Amino acid sequence: MAQRQAGIAHIASHAESNWRPIAQTYSDPDVSGSTLERVGLSRLLSDIDAGRIDVVIVQKIDRLTRSMTDFVKLLELFDQHGVALVSVTQHLNSQDATGRLSINTLISFAQFEREITGERIRDKIKATRRKGLWAGSIPPLGYEVRNQHLLIKKTEADLVRRIFKRFVAIGSITELLKVLKNDEVTTKQWITQTGKIRGGHAIDKTYIYKVLNNRIYLGELHYDDAWHEGIHSPIISIALWDSAQALLQKRRRPRKSITKNSDVFLFKGLVFGNDERAYSPWLSSMRRGRRYAYYIPQRDVAEGAGASGLPRCPAGELEAVVLERLREKLRDPPSLIENLPTQVKQHPLFEEVAAKDALTEIDAVWELLCPAFVRPLIRQMLKRITIAQDKLTISWDMQGIGNVIINHLKARSKIAVESGHKRTSRR
């Protein structure tokens, strides 16, 4: 509230310049400025893209971001849209050279301070764990913390032993998950210092793997990039641990098979279910000399096949459908051009007829383009693919499409200029 009032007062002081506050306030309480993945910031960027904002007011620059890299990206985006960045308490304005220099200097120091603080925290954690004490926030399932000592919490420790023993007996994470769900087993629950209840969610495969791979249950602590004997009591025996690890080792699939073939998945990171959870790239085991590529719901990965109620999608089929829709859009330029951002339409090279020609030209030569060129081109124009039980929704990145058009027009203009130079030289 205080930051908003300071911003309103600063705007009022520039009334002679026709500054007027908008009704919307963009805030992200309890979210660190070290990340750009913030709801309020996302709304701000959307409104900037829509041309609703001329000046962004912040109390301090590090309220926007504490990362120099992220700050440069945001400043470039503001510049593209003709938006100024103003800091109230630091009296800085990104529209003048002195202000830009000061802003970059301040954000560099903010990032430096954050990194130094991080180093100090990590050093303190290492020093504490070398003494066999717990340094961290929430202890793992099975333990509670008193005076930095890990103490066994009986009910949770019994659950940990049960998870290990049942896994060794059943030999299947999927079957174990079914048993635990039937018994309504949940993740560790705790109360924050402010009295809020956290955890206690339905258990999933990821959580089970985390438990089965945690050597803390052997009485060890991790520091200096290795596991060392701690002073807390173990929950499980080494024999039970070894039995569980032997079964897990049999189940492990070499990770290099996914990374080696990562180019198989054209839409990696762009596919989501209508439950807002991502789809993951997945390669099958070798069958008759080949692997099959799919996009599968994250919930199915975590809780077992069918948990999400959403279909798994063969990669080739999904990509064929999306590419065909993209090319249909390229063949029908008006449906794209009318939705382009304002700053694209205001570019000196932009003309509606030329933009239409650019899109149809790209479609005309599509089959001749090499994969190394097509892949980034597609990802630049595509924003998100949302899959429902019986529906596929595609969101296009209009800024990206605008950039493709402008780049095409720049290339065409360059070719025309070079051609003109050649004709001149012959004369």
- Listed residue (76, 77, 95) closest to 85, CA to CA: 95
Instruction: Give 59 or 218, the one with higher predicted confidence.
Output: 218
40 Cβ contact list (under 8 Å, min separation 6): 26, 27, 28
Read off the pLDDT band of 112 (50, 70, 90).
Answer: confident
Residue 267 is assigned to a structural domain of this protein: yes
CA 367/CA 323 separation, integer angstroms = 12
Do 269 and 412 have their domain in common? yes
Identify the pLDDT of residue 370: 77
Q: Does residue 139 come out as left (phi exceeding 0), alpha (psi in the -120 to 50 range) or beta?
A: beta
Does the residue 89 lie in any domain? Answer: yes
Q: Are 89 and 59 in contact (CB under 8 A)?
A: yes
In terms of domains, do 240 and 260 share one?
no
Looking at the structure, tell me whether residues 170 and 270 fall in a common domain: no
> Domain containing 100 — which CATH number?
3.40.50.1390
Which CATH number is 147's domain given? 3.90.1750.20
Domain-located, residue 119: no
**pLDDT at position 263:** 58
Q: Report the share of the chain in percent with pLDDT over 70.
A: 91
pLDDT value, residue 4: 77
Confidence of residue 339 (pLDDT cuts 50, 70, 90): confident
Q: pLDDT digit string (tens) for 82-91?
A: 888 888 887 7
pLDDT at 258 over 70: no
Report the run of H or E that residue 415 belongs to, with start and end.
Answer: helix 398-426
Place of tokens 């479609």: 363
Task: Note whether 307 and 366 are same-domain residues.
Answer: yes
* 133 found inside a domain: no
Amino acid at site 204: D
189 and 105 share a domain? Answer: no
**Is 165 part of any domain?**
yes
User: Other CB atoms closer than 10 Å to residue 402's CB: what's the count?
Assistant: 23
Bridge partners, 191 (sequence order):
197
Neighbours of 315 (CB within 10 A): 20
Condensed to tens digits (0 to 9), the pLDDT of residues 25-71 reads 888 877 777 777 888 888 888 888 888 888 888 888 778 887 777 87
Domain edge (last residue) among 202, 231, 251? 251
Q: Are residues 77 and 148 in the same domain?
A: no
Q: Decide if 355 contacts 403 (C-beta within 8 A).
A: no
The reply to whether 388 falls in a domain is yes
Average pLDDT over residues 223-242: 91
**Is the same domain home to 415 and 276?**
yes
Shared domain check, 238 and 211: yes
Range in 52-56, 113-117, 236-240 the model is least confident about: 113-117
Q: Is residue 121 part of a domain?
A: no
What's the pTM? 0.50
3-state secondary structure of 151: strand
Nearest to 71 by CA among 13, 114, 18, 29: 114
**Tens-place pLDDT, residues 11-33:** 888 777 778 888 788 888 777 77
Tell me the residue type at 358.
Answer: A
Looking at the structure, do residues 23 and 107 belong to the same domain, yes or no? yes
Phi then psi for residue 54, to 5 deg, are -110, -35
Domain count, the chain: 3
- Please give the pLDDT value at position 271: 94
**pLDDT tens digits for 149-184?**
999 999 999 999 999 999 999 999 989 999 998 999
Report, as an integer, the average pLDDT of 282-310. 81
Report whether 85 contacts 56 (CB < 8 A): yes
**Residue 180 in domain:** yes
Candidates 109, 124, 22; CA nearest to 71 is 109
Q: What does each C-alpha distance from 219 to 20, 125, 214, 232 come to in angstroms?
A: 62, 18, 10, 6
Instruction: Based on the fold, state whether residues 273 and 406 are members of the same structural domain.
Output: yes
Q: 39 and 90 share a domain?
A: yes
Residue 110's domain spans which residues? 2-114
Last residue of a domain, one of 77, 95, 114: 114
Does 293 lie in the same domain as 202? no
